[in-house]
Chain A
Amino acid sequence: MSNLLTASIGRKLLMSVSGLFLILFLFVHLTLNSFLLLDGVMGFQKGQLFNAGAHFMATNPFIKVMEPMLALGFIVHIIYSLILTLQNMKARGPQAYASGNKTTGVEWASQNMLVLGIVIFSFLIVHLFDFFMKMRGYIAWTPGEVEFPFFGSMAKGEDVYSLVNATFKVLPIVIIYIIGSVALAFHLAHGFWSSFQTIGWNNTKWMSRLRCISTIVGIVLGGGFTVIALAQYLFF
């Protein structure tokens, strides 16, 4: 284990593991968000299911523990991406090819992971200001109190649904969210299979399978968030 993080492959292992952890978080996030589309099922009224979900996430001790871990995951992923990219630029050398790069058949996303990452990071900042900072009281927000069914009984909590719904009624915000989601889709379409490659879980047989799964992960997550933002703007 000694000096693992001074080796290129060791640093990339950190990128890989932190990336997979963040993907796991995104799936939980998307699951919760999908409640926004489920009005009127199982006796839930408009927005109740999402409010119940938000209440569950806000009060669950496991989520409280995972929150700093998640922040750490982001920090590690971002800092190491910068370290590795700087090393890569240095290794490439100062002289660019005058005849450019005409290599064909290379994923576009794989060559632009840093740019996509910067777009996603910028979006993340906007996103935190839109919701997280308000829900945590860092930004003034006076939520209405609502009642919703919660594990068999009724519970009271903040009306997060109205905040989400009001936010997604503004077209420029919806556009920003779609840009963020599309960047995420491309980032993951390369990032997912690449993280398995870095761990060493790949061979000639699994290469095409992992790439296929990776594309699906990108489409499901990026597309999912896009559809939800659009649906809130158009139908709710």
Chain B
Amino acid sequence: MEKNINITVKVWRQNGPKEKGRFETHKVNNVSIDTSFLEMLDILNEQLINENKEPVAFDHDCREGICGMCSLYINGRPHGPDDDVTTCQLHMRKFKDGQTVTIEPWRSAAFPVIKDLIVDRRAFDKIIAAGGYVSVNTGGIPDANSIGIPKADADEAMDSASCIGCGACVAACKNGSAMLFVSAKVSHLAMLPQGRIEGARRAKAMVAKMDELGFGNCTNTGACEVECPKNISLSNIARLNREFLSAKFQD
């Protein structure tokens, strides 16, 4: 089912963090609908290079939806019009012939633009560095039955651990809150025995860092959950609140 479409791309250009940004409009013709969104941007960049113009800078790495590097706010949604996928797994079949596609970087005070569509997401790394780990070496993979973990807990921990830290939750949130990310990272460790021990300290340290870096306050709106490419559940946020408050009340 070979089909090609012509689209107009309205893309955010910004030379540096302090520079004023603007939108640029380009035509991209004859794009196969089987092209991925990032491949379409590659085609656009080839075009720009041939015209002796500067290519559009955007983040990408694995292009198979597991690294969390790609971002892009496309036509009003983080990771574009498809559900539960990252931008690299979005395909041009989701767009119509002749459509204008608006591409913007994540917008959040804690994620400043570095160049064009690339934003600085090191704030997430700083939150992880504040406590999103187990402090001691827990050894290799233990024998399956040496520590009993209920299947339901293991599944839920695995679901929380599937967060790739792309930042779509912050980009989607009207409050620029990072609660879905932080709650996923706190949850997947808190639900397993190796991580449970440091649960209280971890929740306090990660929330303190999150606040310090200027992320907003969660209002339980749930746009993050809708836009999360990995379907991280809002109930993680309830667990983070529980972990944080009970840790604070013990102090």
Question: Contacts A99-B104, A100-B76, A103-B77; is A92 near B219 (CB within 8 Å)?
Answer: no
Contact residues, B52-104 vs A (CB, 8 A): 73-77, 81, 102, 104
User: Are A8 and B207 interface neighbours, CB within 8 A?
Assistant: yes
Distance between B221 CB and nearest chain A CB, rounded to angstroms: 4
Residues in A with CB closer than 8 Å to B226 are 103-106
The contact of A8 among B10, B21, B211, B239, by CB within 8 Å, is B211
Taking CB atoms, residues of chain B closer than 8 Å to A111 are: 174, 221, 223
A contact residues around B251 at 8 Å (CB)? 1-2
B116 at the interface (CB under 8 A from A): no
Q: Is A200 an interface residue (CB 8 A)?
A: yes
Q: A197 contacts which chain B residues (CB < 8 A)?
A: 220, 234, 237-238, 241
A4 at the interface (CB under 8 A from B): yes
B176 to A92, Cβ gap below 8 A? Answer: yes
Contact A194 B220 (CB under 8 A): yes
Q: Which of B109, B156, B240, B242 contacts A91 (CB 8 A)?
A: B109
> A78 → chain B, closest Cβ, in Å?
15
CA distance A91 to B248 in the complex (A): 24
Docked-complex contact B77 and A102, CB < 8 angstroms: yes
Q: Pick the contact of A202: B10, B235, B248 (CB < 8 A).
A: B235
Do A95 and B107 touch across chains, with their CB atoms under 8 A apart?
A: yes
Report the minimum CB–CB distance from B175 to chain A (whole Å).
4
The answer to whether A92 touches B77, judged by C-beta atoms less than 8 angstroms apart, is: no
Main secondary structure of the interface of A (DSSP, over half): helix
Inter-subunit contact B107/A8 (CB<8 Å): no
Contact A96 B107 (CB under 8 A): yes
- Give Cα distance in the complex from A111 to B22, angstroms: 28
CB contact list, B152-198 vs A, under 8 A: 156, 172-177
**A146→B170 CA distance, assembly (Å):** 60
Assess whether B23 is interfacial by the CB under 8 Å rule: yes
Which residues from B are CB-within-8-Å of A12?
217-218, 241
A98/B104 in contact, CB under 8 A:
yes
For the complex formed, measure the closest distance between the CB of B21 and the CB atoms of chain A, giving whole angstroms.
8
Name which of A69-77, A82-90, A134-142, A158-166 contacts chain B. A82-90
- B234 contacts A103, C-beta separation under 8 Å: no
Within the complex, what minimum Cβ distance (angstroms) separates A165 from chain B?
40
Q: Is A9 an interface residue (CB 8 A)?
A: yes
Please tell me which one of the listed residues B74, B211, B234, B241 contacts residue A200 in the complex, with CB atoms under 8 A apart. B241
Which chain A residues numbered 79 to 123 have a C-beta less than 8 Å away from chain B?
84, 87-88, 90-93, 95-107, 110-111, 113
Residues 24-54 of B contacting A (Cβ, < 8 Å): none
Q: How far is the CB of B225 from chain A (nearest CB, A)?
A: 9
Asked if A99 contacts B75 (CB within 8 A), the reply is yes
Q: What 0/1 pattern do residues 200 to 216 of A give for CB contact below 8 A with B?
A: 11111001000000000
Interface readout for A1-45 with B: 1 if CB under 8 Å, 0 if not?
Answer: 110101111111100000000000000000000000000000000
A-side contacts of B217, CB under 8 Å = 8, 11-12, 84, 87-88, 91
Closest B residue, CB atoms, query A9:
B244
Contact of B244 with A7 in the complex, beta carbons under 8 Å: yes
**Which one of B215, B219, B222 has the greatest number of beta carbons of chain A within 10 Å?**
B219
Interface centre among B214, B233, B241, B251, by most chain A C-beta atoms within 10 angstroms, is B241
Given A1-B248, A2-B251, A97-B76: A207 in contact with B234 (beta carbons within 8 A): yes
Task: Say whether A167 faces chain B, with CB atoms less than 8 Å apart.
Answer: no
Let me know if B210 and A8 touch, CB within 8 A: yes
Find chain A residues with CB under 8 A from B214 CB. 90-91
Residues of chain A lying within 8 A (CB to CB) of residue B109: 90-93
Say yes or no: A9-B176 contact (C-beta < 8 A), given A1-B251, A91-B214, A93-B108: no
Can you give 28 A-B contacts (C-beta < 8 A)? A1-B248, A7-B208, A7-B248, A9-B241, A11-B217, A84-B217, A87-B216, A87-B217, A88-B176, A88-B217, A90-B216, A91-B177, A91-B217, A92-B107, A99-B75, A100-B76, A101-B223, A102-B77, A106-B221, A106-B223, A107-B222, A111-B174, A194-B219, A198-B218, A198-B241, A202-B238, A203-B235, A204-B233
Extra 10 A-B pairs, beta carbons < 8 Å, given A97-B76, A102-B81, A103-B77: A9-B244, A90-B214, A92-B174, A92-B176, A93-B108, A93-B109, A110-B220, A111-B223, A197-B234, A200-B241
Q: Which 7 A-B pairs have the closest CB atoms?
A: A200-B242, A102-B76, A91-B216, A202-B238, A91-B176, A88-B175, A99-B102
